[in-house]
Amino acid sequence: MTHKFDKNAREQLRNQLTLFNPLKAEGNEEPSKMIVKRVSAKFCRGMIAEFHYSHIMPDNAFDCFAGFYGDKIAGIIVYGNGANNNTFSALIPDIKVKNCRELMRGWSADGMPKNTESKLISESLKMLPPEIFLIVSFADPSHNHTGIVYQATNFYYCGMSNPSKMLVDNKGKIFHVRSIGTYKRRHPELQGLTNKEIMEKYRWKYIDSSGKHRYVYLRGDKWIVNLMYNQIKDRIMEYPKRIEEVNQEAMQSQARHSSQA
């Protein structure tokens, strides 16, 4: 199952780091000199499972890329089909899934230069197959993410996604409802069970999840980009502010009110 694969990958990574740490920055890295390469999902799994805030490497990862400063791994970008087709058809109703990707995971090692992740995203977008026209990604405000890295890489901001259901286990770990389908595929003994029975077996419960900031990137021939842009232009909004900026404005407003009292 996914969690077991991720656990094994984390253990392998930790053993490797005791011998040689390819993630530790040396202080002389420059984003302009970073080399981006296509890599396998297996290569990414341990780092995503260990360091990404979700701690889960998606099963449907089709296009994976890593950035390198010499022999140092700068970061990882993972694209796939996402949770469901509505991710794409909600924006462009007649688009085919084969022409879409969701940027599902993005991570940069601690200590890397400020623009490492945005540079990695920019370069990886260029390396996607030519038939990929629409890329969607989400920033989770429940983890204090507003999508600054997508703003830096010229994604369009298309507002908040709809609230959804998530799963939580008895240890408080939150994960996507599609994990039920993953467990069914990897455990033949679960094939005859309903989703409710599987949830009871693993002591999972539904919880409500707030919407996420939705970012969109268009690529392809100019006429294709223009066609897609005309379908999403009414959704495009100003970028949301950083959490720090919102807090600072609130403090300044409070200070003004206090001085007027």
Q: Pick 214 or 13 by higher pLDDT.
A: 214
pLDDT for 94 beyond 70: yes
Q: What is the pLDDT of residues 101-144, one digit of tens each?
A: 999 999 998 888 889 999 999 999 999 999 999 999 999 887 78
Nearest CA to 112 out of 79, 150, 67 is that of 67
- Pair of tokens at residue 196: 């409710």
Helix, strand, coil shares of the chain as percentages rounded to 5?
Answer: 40, 25, 35
Q: Are strands 213-218 and 156-160 parallel, antiparallel or unpaired?
A: antiparallel
pLDDT for 49 beyond 90: no
CA end-to-end distance (rounded Å), the chain: 60
* CA dist 16 → 9, 177, 213, 225 (Å): 11, 32, 35, 43
pLDDT for residue 56: 80
Burial of 137 (0-12, 13-18, 19+ CB in 10 A): buried
pLDDT for residue 5: 65
Please report the domains of the chain, with CATH numbers, ordered by start residue: 2-161+214-245 (3.40.630.30), 164-209 (no CATH)
pLDDT for 256 beyond 60: no
State how far the Cα of 136 lies from the Cα of 109, in Å rounded to an integer. Answer: 23
